[in-house]
Amino acid sequence: MNKDILLEKIIYLNKDSKKLFDKSMKQIAKKYDLTKSEVFILSIIEHNPETLKSCTIVKNHNFSKAYVSQVTNSLKEKGYISLVTDPDDKRYQKIKLLSKADNVLNDITKIFKVNLNIIKKGITKEELDNFIGIIDKIIKNLKDYEEGNND
């Protein structure tokens, strides 16, 4: 495959999947009178098995500290999360989901399942497994490059 076509396909995949995801986030945001950013941050928090810190979101999702701080403070004011000083490191606050977030998170899960079915339509399990393996290699290559391991 031509390298230019590969890059073009990756860009289109990213753009088109982002459109699908954004449309879903807007639907949920409108239903609960939240911003798309607030819904997205709630989704990130929910998919992390333990209570996480704002700095983890900043690091793992390439958001600015100010952006994450603004969104988490808004979610706190609206009663969706609590921010608790980390007993191990008082410089950080841990984020905890509150019960008010349950309905939003249920809707996010439902819409993600619908989106996943849209994305996987017509793709066999074997093709999907191969694709995931290739994506994992691409992600590793990008991380290695970022860390200066350009071998």
Question: For the whole model, what pTM was predicted?
Answer: 0.78
- What's the rounded Cα separation, in Å, for the pair 37 and 40? 5
Specify if 139 maps to a domain.
no
Place of tokens 């999702």: 61
For residue 107, what are the domain limits?
Answer: 3-120
Specify if 15 maps to a domain.
yes
- What's the rounded Cα separation, in Å, for the pair 44 and 61? 9
* pLDDT one-digit tens code per residue, 71-121: 999 999 999 999 888 888 888 888 889 999 999 999 999 998 999 999 999
Specify if 18 maps to a domain.
yes
Specify if 23 maps to a domain.
yes
Specify if 135 maps to a domain.
no
* pLDDT one-digit tens code per residue, 43-81: 988 887 565 888 888 888 888 989 999 999 999 999 999
Output the domain CATH number for residue 70: 1.10.10.10
Specify if 138 maps to a domain.
no
